[in-house]
Structure 1
Amino acid sequence: MKSENFKRFELKPFLIEALSEQGFTLPTDIQERLIPAIRNGRDVIGQSQTGTGKTLSFLLPILDRIDSQKDEVQAVITAPTRELAGQLFDELKKLLNFCPENEQIHAKLLVGGTDRARAVDSLKVQPHIVVGTAGRMADLIDDQALKVYTASMLVVDEADQMLDMGFIADVDKVASRMSEKLQMMVFSATIPEKLQPFLKKYMTDPRHVQVEPKHVTATKIEHRIIPLRHREKIKFVVDIAKSINPYLAIVFTNTKEQADEVADAMYEAGLNVERLHGGLQPRQRKQVMKQVKEVKVQYLVATDLAARGIDVKGVTHIINFGLPQDLDFYIHRVGRTARAGMDGIAFTIYEDHDQQAIEKLLKRGVKFTYYDFKQGEWTQLDRAPLGVPGKKKTPRSGESKTTTAKKPAEQKRTGGKAVAKAKAVKPGYKKKARFKQAKEEQKLRRKKKK
């Protein structure tokens, strides 16, 4: 099938052919709104969650504008991590595979953790496009190996994560060495206030497109939350992992120390597990991702480094060892499953202090189902457990529909029934206080008479 709807953008024929080969027929919302602006050389801000098609929204118009006859850098694409940069480069190569021999466009991946001398040697002939981490690019610019002064197109992908990780200064360094007629394209799930000075420095009247997904998460994800109660957490997550037998499951932790502890416990339990976090050497991380993509791993224990932008196919289950502090990462985590129309289940182990976070996710449209897991058996709970907000109880036959359920904070669990919580002030307190006060006054009167 020809990608007729992309033809409206008047892209080069090889790009239309590449899209058709990959099965893309209709532009997404963000592609529809940004491709024309980028082709026209305008600064843009694309604000969207993962899975909205933002990568193609900048790769297509950039490739359309590259002049293959000029052996100079024309576009720079930066990402906060090596893994994200590698994925962008892979997507770029899928498009370049259809480039005609007489119009070959050359691209180079430049990331830390690789041989710097070899990278310098590979830049003797400057590529048309460089993709990579800003830190490595800045180093190669200082070495005068990478010449970006000819480049007029700069992409800053996952800008909020770039800011959080402290890499905006490196991006600034790269941008300052580029062409004065710089076109900047910034893509991010959120646009923090601290990012504004950087944006104002380089952007002129940017086209700001914010795309909200129709659903906060994929509709085919079941969000199960499971109370930890008094169980040992690492053993509990291992038991849950054993029970699901996934095609591929990602277990998310908030720290690399937790990731190591969980991965070690799963390995000792005989599970086929690998780990992925910032504490690993670049070569180790690369090997892990290769094993995951080749379906040689059944369980991947990861920090949020792996949550944003890394597209691993075949993820059937997500297990959250705990809720992330930044709840946007919950959306990114569960977004790894239920892709391309498939089903997925996201398990989240929660504790009492998670109540507020769960309330916020409920308000954002996440629909939880409540389960417990005991002795290898799953039990669906008919209502939210203690301390967790849930839906109002459906009135039974004969009950008034106007009856409202008590708020969770006003309930306590007693014998499986929700009953009104005892008042903080004991019954008869005021009466006793008045009696005590009258007695004291009587004593004072007696003393005066004496």
Structure 2
Amino acid sequence: MNNIFTDSRIKPAIQEGLKKIHFEKPTKVQEKVIPAMLSDLSVVVQAATGSGKTHAYLVPIFNEIDEDAHYVQAIVTLPSRELADQLYQVARQLRDAAGMHFSIAHLAGGTDRERQLEKYQNNTPQLVIATPGRLLDFVQKKVFIVDQVKTFVIDEADMTLDMGFLADIDQVASKMPKDVQIAAFSATIPVKLSNFLRKYMAHPDQIVIDNPSVIAPTIKNDLLDIGSKNRKSILYKLLTMGQPYLALVFANTKQTVDELTRYLQDQGLKVAKIHGGVTERERKRTLRQVEQGQFQYVVASDLAARGLDIDGVSLVINYEIPRDIEFVIHRIGRTGRNGLSGHAITLIREEEMNRIEDLEKMGVHFDFVELKNGELVPRKHYRSRENRQGKNRKLDTKLVGYVKKEKRKRKPGYKKKIKRAIQEDNRQKRKLEQRHEIRKAKRLRKRKREQGR
């Protein structure tokens, strides 16, 4: 099979640059996306984070850039400043390795806007890497013109939708040429995103790499029903059972992230935290320290699940299930990357099982485990108990006689009488079960109220 990195359509300098940064064998997404984009096709690519999609679009972009033409030729948007910063570093690495000489602008919220304005008003970049809000700001101020853009890439498109940035993207895209090549990369393609993309792409090349909703085979994906046990103490036990190279704990809110960080620090663990409330300077410092191996444990909100690329995560713990269950997939996808093995554990209580069923319908497979003697051991699937209930339901003692007598010959109508009696008995039992469920739900609500005080 031909290696797309050595395709004759790719400039020799880029081929050499890829070799220098040790890109020798393309990933599946690179094999499919690079030829499509080299053929000037617009693409919608559904691929999981960590599949190699960044270079899948950088290679065709670099290939089309005219180093002597000083106008904006390509734009890549990402929904968070961390992602934009990471892409900027990756793009510079490939540009320098290829010995190319063109200007790359990095525009993101949280960076010095005035300095950027001053820099690019007199020095138009040829490639722009930006967050949607800052990009729109610069386009509206006419810091640079986008009417000659050849390629427009929307990376992490579903996260862009989740964070409410599609309106900004829409305004920028409307100012581009009608024949601009558009490439959208996303782990999932929700209906709203699909409708938006259709506005600018009549017949895009649809590329799906595996099923991003299915957890990578390199990940052991466990589900732990904690019952009435204390969630924090279970978390501490899981983090200290083995020695994870780097453990990432996800919580739903900034408050919970702060609370868990304090709790784990009080237990003597060295813990870093990342969420939207942490200042830009602190976030950068924390990420640098994590990369340097100064922290073994990181507690984060969902922004970090999609907005950061932290290498070496060997364990992911979902402390709680997020409101948007698709985020479970993105969280778990932080581990088991690039062919390395990973371990994910999701903590749940019985009342959350319906959400697990929804995830299973999406193709997420869980191994059911329990904590015994300081280790995780397999347990039966939660549905096996439900399946047995129907089979093992005992008849009321007063009905046993009816059923035994049915074996003998009886007058017409006797069988119907038995069936009616059994049906009534089952109805009464269902009523009792429903009452039990209602009482259990009341107890759970009471427990939540008490925990909230």
Give TM-score, length-normalised by structure 1: 0.82
TM-superposed CA distance for 1:205, in Å, is: 1.9
Alignment of 1:420-439 (within 5 A): 420-421=392-393, 428=399
Contact 1:250–1:299 (8 Å) recurs in 2: yes
> 2:196, 2:397 → 1: CA distance?
59
Partner of 2:128: 130
Partner of 2:430: none
CA deviation string 1:160-202 (max 9, x = no partner):
2111211001111221233343221111122222224422332
Partner of 2:354: 356
Q: Does residue 26 in structure 1 map to residue 25 in structure 2?
A: yes
One of 385, 390, 405 as aligned partner of 1:408: 385
Which one-letter code corresponds to 1:409 in the other structure?
A: E
Partner of 1:209: 207
Pair 137,422 (structure 1): closer, same or farther in 2 beyond 3 Å: farther
> 1:371, 1:138 → 2: CA distance?
48
> 2:380, 2:61 → 1: CA distance?
52
One of 99, 118, 121 as aligned partner of 2:118: 121
One of 100, 105, 114 as aligned partner of 2:102: 105
SS state at 1:186 partner: strand
Contact 2:215–2:365 (8 Å) recurs in 1: no
In the comparison of the two structures, how many residue pairs are matched? 403
Which one-letter code corresponds to 1:261 in the other structure?
A: E
Partner of 2:68: 69
Q: Does residue 10 in structure 1 map to residue 47 in structure 2?
A: no
TM-superposed CA distance for 1:224, in Å, is: 2.2
Partner of 1:139: 137
> 2:343, 2:208 → 1: CA distance?
28
TM-superposed CA distance for 1:381, in Å, is: 3.6
TM-superposed CA distance for 1:209, in Å, is: 1.3
Contact 1:43–1:204 (8 Å) recurs in 2: no
TM-superposed CA distance for 1:367, in Å, is: 4.4
One of 245, 248, 272 as aligned partner of 1:247: 245
Pair 363,164 (structure 1): closer, same or farther in 2 beyond 3 Å: closer
SS state at 1:308 partner: helix
Contact 1:9–1:35 (8 Å) recurs in 2: no
> 1:357, 1:61 → 2: CA distance?
41
Q: Does residue 159 in structure 1 map to residue 136 in structure 2?
A: no
TM-superposed CA distance for 1:237, in Å, is: 1.3
Percentage of pairs with the same residue: 36
Contact 2:316–2:335 (8 Å) recurs in 1: yes
Contact 2:213–2:329 (8 Å) recurs in 1: no
> 1:426, 1:212 → 2: CA distance?
55
Alignment of 1:223-262 (within 5 A): 223-262=221-260
Alignment of 1:9-408 (within 5 A): 10-100=9-99, 103-123=100-120, 124-213=122-211, 216-308=214-306, 310-363=308-361, 366-373=364-371, 377-384=374-381, 388-389=382-383, 407-408=384-385
Pair 378,176 (structure 1): closer, same or farther in 2 beyond 3 Å: same
> 2:392, 2:295 → 1: CA distance?
49
Pair 379,34 (structure 1): closer, same or farther in 2 beyond 3 Å: closer
Q: Which moved more, 1:321-330 or 1:125-134?
A: 321-330
Pair 55,33 (structure 1): closer, same or farther in 2 beyond 3 Å: same
TM-superposed CA distance for 1:433, in Å, is: 12
> 1:255, 1:44 → 2: CA distance?
35
Q: Which moved more, 1:195-204 or 1:161-170?
A: 195-204
Contact 1:37–1:44 (8 Å) recurs in 2: yes
> 1:302, 1:80 → 2: CA distance?
17
> 1:264, 1:90 → 2: CA distance?
33
CA deviation string 1:61-111 (max 9, x = no partner):
0110000001111111001111121222222122112232xx402211100
> 1:4, 1:348 → 2: CA distance?
39
TM-superposed CA distance for 1:20, in Å, is: 1.9
Any stretches of 5+ residues in structure 1 without a counterpart? Answer: 390-406, 413-417, 435-450
Please tell me the root mean square deviation across aligned C-alpha atoms, in Å: 2.8
Contact 1:78–1:156 (8 Å) recurs in 2: yes
Any stretches of 5+ residues in structure 2 without a counterpart? Answer: 400-417, 425-453
SS state at 2:306 partner: coil
Pair 42,185 (structure 1): closer, same or farther in 2 beyond 3 Å: same
Contact 1:251–1:321 (8 Å) recurs in 2: yes
Contact 1:371–1:378 (8 Å) recurs in 2: no
SS state at 2:168 partner: helix
> 1:369, 1:432 → 2: CA distance?
38
Which one-letter code corresponds to 1:286 in the other structure?
A: K
> 2:241, 2:61 → 1: CA distance?
47
